[in-house]
Amino acid sequence: MQNNKDNFQLYFVAIVPGEPLRSEITKLKEWMYEEFATKAALRSPPHITLHMPFKWKPGKEEVLKESLASLAPQLHTFEVKLKNFSCFEPRVIYIDVVENESLSHVKEVVMEVSRKVWKLQIPRDMRGFHPHITIGFRDLKKPQFFKAWDQLKERTFHASFEAERITLLKHNGKHWDEHLTFELTAKK
């Protein structure tokens, strides 16, 4: 994909955990690739999606930057807890995120900005918001999905991290780069 201001590029908004959790989750994605031949999840850093990928003209990127830069300081940092594995059968395996009112609020605010400021037409997701961190999807074939799920469904995973920023990711034609980050206000 050319970085020409007349062309659209893909962006999305997410919460990306810091180290060392980020590396721990990346190792799980690498294990999924080695054991079950699914590499699509390796094309992005571990993240919780706040806004699904959307097309935007890079020449108008300043609008995204300004709106997220003014939004982030209005939001407070919060703890995110991860617990065990789950799936969207038969293609997606992920680390589950414990229900969190603060995370849901951040998602709502980002979606509101996308409708009102970015003027994106957002289809209502019939499943609702189900925060998670994907470790295998899209290119995970059904037989491999069931083998992987058999190994992970009873396995435990517990971690937590402080969500301190929201990230605008940009697709470079091959994978997602953390393009811009916007700091949330520290809890009092």
Q: What is the structure's pLDDT at 127? A: 54
**Residue 173 within any structural domain of the chain:** yes
In a domain, 170, yes or no: yes
Whether the pLDDT of residue 137 is over 50: the answer is yes
Can you read off the two tokens belonging to residue 184? 């949330």
* Residues 178, 120: Cα–Cα separation, whole Å: 21
CATH number at residue 41: 3.90.1140.10
Domain span including residue 117:
9-183
Contact 116, 138 (CB under 8 A): no
Q: What is the pTM of this model?
A: 0.92
Q: Is residue 171 part of a domain?
A: yes
Q: Would residue 2 count as lying in a domain?
A: no
* Residue 65 is assigned to a structural domain of this protein: yes
Give a yes or no: residue 4 inside a domain.
Answer: no
pLDDT in tens, 37-96: 999 999 999 999 999 999 999 899 999 999 999 999 999 999 999 999 999 999 999 999
Find all residues with CB under 8 Å of 127, minimum gap 6, and list them: none
Helices (H), 38-154: 61-71, 101-116, 142-152
Number of domains in the chain: 1
Domain annotation covers residue 150: yes
Phi-psi region of 185 (alpha: psi -120 to 50; beta: other; left: phi over 0): beta
> Is 188's pLDDT higher than 80?
no
